[in-house]
Amino acid sequence: KTAIVTGAGSGSDGYGIGQAIAILFANHGANVLVVDIDLNRGNRTVEFILENGGSATLHSADVTIADHCKTTIESAVRIYGSLDILVNNVGMRGVGSVVDLNEEQFKKVLDVNLNSMVFMSKYAVQQMVENKRGSIINMSSFVALRAGGFGAAVPYALSKAGVIALTQQMCHDHGQDGIRVNCIAPGHVYTPMVADHVNPKQRELRRKAAPLQTEGTAWDVALAALFLASDESSYVTGASLVIDGGYVAH
């Protein structure tokens, strides 16, 4: 199968969620179009996959721009002949309450975290319809389901809640075309992006917050994505899979 994973570039320290998903998909035989706005980050992921015998191609795009989204889909089809899986993983932090949030940042967070998924899906669905099959996986967050776990973060929470609504609507709209649409809501997962904003004391508090009292990794999320992308989840659509050690239920 052919998969597109957005935001799949590699940081300098540890594995990000998009990178882990791209690597795991490739390990299981997928052709992966690694999409990242940063060529250096994206190339590190592609090189890792190729060095380990997988199939991957780098594609640089700003997925907040509709034309870039269209070109991304076209590139996957041109290179690999089809499109079976889309993982909308691009995301950024957004902090502040409604009183103190920054208007410019608020709009950017919505563009990156939500609008990018709309336009990537717009062109992916058109391609998947032709094959009467497809799996789209959108990255949400536990913050969309429970307040207070991330501090004041209205832009982030609102965008991630929108991802759940988008997932359910797309499930309804495109199920008869054989297209499944699900989302993943990670909890306190430790990734390079988190490492830039969390000190050791905060990291320990995050670990203790959930019933399992263990720290999630990018691989925990990647394994969930692998399930949702595969035929083993052929009867799963419209779902929000929470990967959080029990935090939301606690």
User: Which listed residue (141, 159, 233, 247) is catalytic?
Assistant: 141
Cα–Cα dist 221/67, whole Å:
29
Q: Where does the chain have alpha helices with state H?
A: 17-27, 39-51, 66-80, 103-110, 116-131, 154-174, 192-195, 200-209, 218-229
| 208: annotated active-site residue | no
Contacts of 51 (CB under 8 A, 6+ apart): none
62, 39 contact by CB (below 8 A): no
139, 88 contact by CB (below 8 A): yes
Cα–Cα dist 164/106, whole Å:
19
| 159: annotated active-site residue | no
Which residues does residue 139 pair with via DSSP β-bridges, in sequence order? 184
- Nearest CA to 8 out of 20, 181, 28 is that of 20
Per 3-state DSSP, what percentage of the chain is helix, strand, and coil (rounded to 5)?
50, 15, 35
Contacts of 99 (CB under 8 A, 6+ apart): none
Q: Beta-carbon neighbour count of residue 13 at 10 Å?
A: 10
User: Which listed residue (15, 80, 123, 156) is catalytic?
Assistant: 156
| 160: annotated active-site residue | yes
User: Which listed residue (15, 80, 160, 233) is catalytic?
Assistant: 160
Catalytic residues: 141, 156, 160
